[in-house]
Amino acid sequence: MKVLVVDDSIVFRSQISASLSGVESVEVVGTAPNGRIAIQKLQQSQIDLITLDMEMPEMNGLATIKEMKRLGMKTKIIVFSSQTVRGAEAALDALSAGADDVVAKPSADDMNFEKAQKMIEDALVPRVLQFLKSGTRSSKTQATSSTSLKSSTTSTSILPKKKLKQFLPKAVVIASSTGGPSALEVIFSQLKCEPKIPILIVQHMPPVFTQILAKRLGELSGIPVHEATNNQKVSPGHVYLAPGGFHMLLASEGGQLVIKLNENELRNSVRPAADFLFETAGQIFKHQLLGVVLTGMGEDGAAGSKYIYELGGGIIIQEKETCVVFGMPGAVFMNDTYDDIMNLEEISSYLRSVIV
C-alpha cells in the first residue's frame, strides 16, 4: 500500500511517516504540506491512501476531499483532526464529504515527540491495516469483485432468515466504527419520527467527536440524541450515544433503566465496546431487543450479537456493498447469528416501522 502524508506541520509529517515506517506492506511514498500539492502528487502517481490534516493553508482538508471526489479519485482517506469542538466538526464534515476514517491529533503542547509519535502509531496503524486487508479499491468495486457471501448474494430478498417482520422490540442497540458516522447520518436523516422506545449507540470515536456526532444526529432526525452520562436515566423516544473513551452499559435500578459508564480495559481493542452494551441490554430486554451492526473494522459487536440472537432477539447487519469496512458485520455474518442483511435505507425504513 502506497501512502501519501499530507500535513502543513513538518513535525506531524515526520511523526506520521515514522509511525508507518515499520509496517509490512505499507510504504510512505511522499509527503505534502497542503492539499493543492497533494492533488498534484495524486495525479502523478498511483497512491492507495492518504493521511490528511484538516487545517492547512492554500487548500485545507475538506477542500482537498471535495476536489478528490470531483476528480473521481478512489484513494482511501484518513483524516487527522484536533480534539476540539472545531476539529470534531471539521472531521465529521470530512467523513460526510467522503473521507473513510478519522484519527485524533495528539496535542503538541503537553507531550514530547516520542510520546506523540507512539499515540499516532497506536491510532493510525490499525486504520491503515484495515484497508490493506480489505483492499484499497472503493467499497462498491471491492464488494462486487470479491468472493461473494453465503448464497452468492447479500440481497435481502434472498437472505431473510426468520422473524423480523413480526418483531416488535422494546429497545434498539447499534454498533458502528469505520464509516459509521456517515452511515448513522444516512439512517437518522431518514427516520423523522417520534420513537416509542430508546435507541442506544456505540460508535468508535474519540472524546469530543461523539459529542458533535450526537448533536448532528439530533438535528438530522428531530429526535433527542444525547451523548450519554453516567447514571443517566433512559427514556423512551430518546437516543443515547456512548461518549468517546467510555464503555456504556445498561442497568435496571428500582425499575428504572440507567446508563453506566466506565473506563475499564479495552475490549476488542476498543473503548467504548459495543459488546458490553449489547450484552447488558440483552440481559434486560432478552428476546425483545433489536441489535444493528453497521460498517466498521474488527469484531466488536459479534459476541454481543450472538448473545442477543441466542436470547431470541433480532439482529440486522449492514450489507457488504455499502460498508466502508465489512469487519464488524462480517464477523456477525461468519457466526451466522443475524436475522437479515440490509442496506442503510432498508435499515432506516425498518427501524421506523418498529420504533413508532
* 50-105 pLDDT, tens digit each: 999 999 999 999 999 999 999 999 999 999 999 899 999 999 999 999 999 999 98
pLDDT tens, position by position, 3-55: 999 999 999 999 999 999 989 999 999 999 999 999 999 999 999 999 999 99
Choice between 302 and 206, residue whose per-residue pLDDT is larger: 302
CA dist 146 and 141 (Å) reads 8
pLDDT higher than threshold 80 for residue 151: no
pLDDT grade, residue 158 (50/70/90)?
Answer: very low
Domain segments of the chain: what residues? 2-136, 164-355
Residue 115 confidence class, pLDDT cut points 50, 70, 90: confident
164-355: CATH topology: Rossmann fold (3.40.50)
Q: Can you give the pLDDT at residue 167?
A: 81
User: What is the C-alpha to C-alpha distance for residues 187 and 348, in angstroms, rounded to an integer?
Assistant: 5
Per-residue pLDDT, 165 = 66
Q: What is the CATH number of domain 2-136?
A: 3.40.50.2300
pLDDT at 66: 97
pLDDT value at 118 more than 60: yes
Average pLDDT value over all residues in the chain: 90
Q: Where are the alpha helices (DSSP H) in 27-179?
A: 35-44, 61-70, 85-97, 113-134, 139-145
> What is the per-residue pLDDT for 221?
96
Residue with cell 437516543: 239
pLDDT for the residue numbered 114: 81
Counting residues of the chain whose pLDDT is more than 90, the rounded percentage is 82
Runs of H (alpha helix) within the chain: 10-20, 35-44, 61-70, 85-97, 113-134, 139-145, 180-189, 209-221, 274-285, 302-311, 327-335, 344-355
247-253/2-6 β-pairing: unpaired
What residues are annotated to the active site?
177, 204, 300
Alpha carbon 159 to chain centroid distance?
A: 25
From residue 24, alpha-carbon distances to 28, 75, 114, 129, 347 in Å are 11, 19, 21, 10, 38
Domains 2-136 and 164-355 fall in the same CATH topology? yes
